[in-house]
Copies of this chain bind each other. A is one copy, B any other.
Amino acid sequence: MAEPTKHVLLMDGPDSKGLIYHVTGVLYRHSFNIIHNDEYVSPGGQFFMRTEFEAGSLLTGVAHDTLDGAALLNELNTTLPNAQGITFRLNPKRKKNIVVLVTKEHHCLGELLIRYAFNELDADILAVVSNYNVLQPLVSKFGIPFHHISHEGKTREEHEDAIRRTLNIYEPEYLVLAKYMRVLTPAFVNHFPNRIINIHHSFLPAFVGANPYRQAYERGVKIIGATAHFVNNDLDEGPIIAQNVQEVDHRHTATDMAIRGKDVEKIVLSQALKLVFSDRVFISGNRAIVL
């Protein structure tokens, strides 16, 4: 008899009565056992659910479970009285394909490369793209393609076109801005809806824009932070995935704050990516729901 394997079912859409009942009913009739079920309904009436359950392999169709995944999804869709607008995802691919965009700072990129090298990133880094070549030596240590696409002598559109041509080679599922210090145009961002993740070097919404540690110093803050978020058309305004903070005091110069901040930035970015790549993050308007 097949060992039970763990499956993950994700579901979101407009709320209506009986959603949990109908979905768990399908699983129950196949004798699947739910290990963990996390559900959230937003004030706006949007339903989100993440269900972990154990079953014999869905794909091989053993005795008590003659279904494959497609059949299960079909059954779920036809069982719901009100399936309009509901999206199901079953066992989404764990390893995402990503391209990382950087400028000159290494701390976030280094963090991602080390995690990738030890299979801890839940993603494959297909390539690194930068408007400078400073980080090429680091990337080459890990055997990953590095594309230096300078912005010099190019309009913003020309530069982004050049980046997109390179991205087209790799067809990444997500773009990770690991301290990519140029603002992206709405046109560019629109090509990757909810698929660009940025690390912002401040506790958003404080200190939007450039040079936040200088701003933090001038203001004499006692705590600094970092924010990982999806990028949408408004600068620094997409759904927040993760944040963390670090205490500082008046003895810290703006430079000291930046150094301390880097430790927060790279951990926050890594933890946000872990959440997104393990399919725990849903988007509800301008908020990220983490199940």
Residues of A within 8 A of B (CB): 15, 17-22, 24-25, 27-28, 31-41, 43, 106-107, 110-111, 114, 117-118, 138, 141-142, 203-207, 215, 218-223, 225, 239-245, 247, 249-251, 253, 263, 267, 270-271, 284, 286-290
Chain B residue nearest to A220 (CB atoms) is: B287
Closest to A114 in B: B110
A286's contact among B15, B141, B220, by CB below 8 Å, is which? B220
B267 A263 Cβ-Cβ under 8 A: yes
CB distance from A87 to the nearest CB of B (A): 18
Question: Shortest distance in angstroms between A98's beta carbon and chain B's nearest beta carbon?
Answer: 19
A247 in contact with B250 (CB, 8 Å): no
Interface residues of A, dominant DSSP: mixed
> Which residues from chain B contact A118 at a C-beta distance below 8 Å?
106, 110
Residues of B near A138 (CB, < 8 A) are 114, 117
- What are 5 A-B pairs at a CB distance below 8 A? A36-B39, A36-B251, A37-B39, A205-B215, A222-B240
The answer for the CA separation of A126 and B142 in the assembled complex, in Å, is 21
**Once the chains bind, are A220 and B18 in contact (CB under 8 Å)?**
no
CB distance from A202 to the nearest CB of B (A): 9
Q: Which of A206, A218, A241, A286 has the most CB of B within 10 A?
A: A206
Nearest B-chain residue to A38, judged by Cβ = B38
C-alpha gap A152/B207 in the complex (Å): 37
What's the least CB distance linking A255 to chain B, in Å?
11
Q: Is the CB of A27 within 8 A of B21?
A: yes
Q: Across the two chains, which residue of chain B brings its CB closest to A138?
A: B117
Name the distance in Å between A119's Cβ and chain B's nearest Cβ.
11
**Min CB–CB distance A37 → chain B (angstroms):** 5
Chain B residues whose C-beta falls within 8 Å of the C-beta of A240 in the assembled complex: 219-222
List of B residues within 8 angstroms of A41 by Cβ: 34-36
Chain B nearest Cβ from A24, distance in angstroms: 4
The CA-CA distance from A154 to B211 in the complex, in Å, is 44
> A290 with B249: in contact, given A36-B40, A263-B267 (CB under 8 Å)?
yes
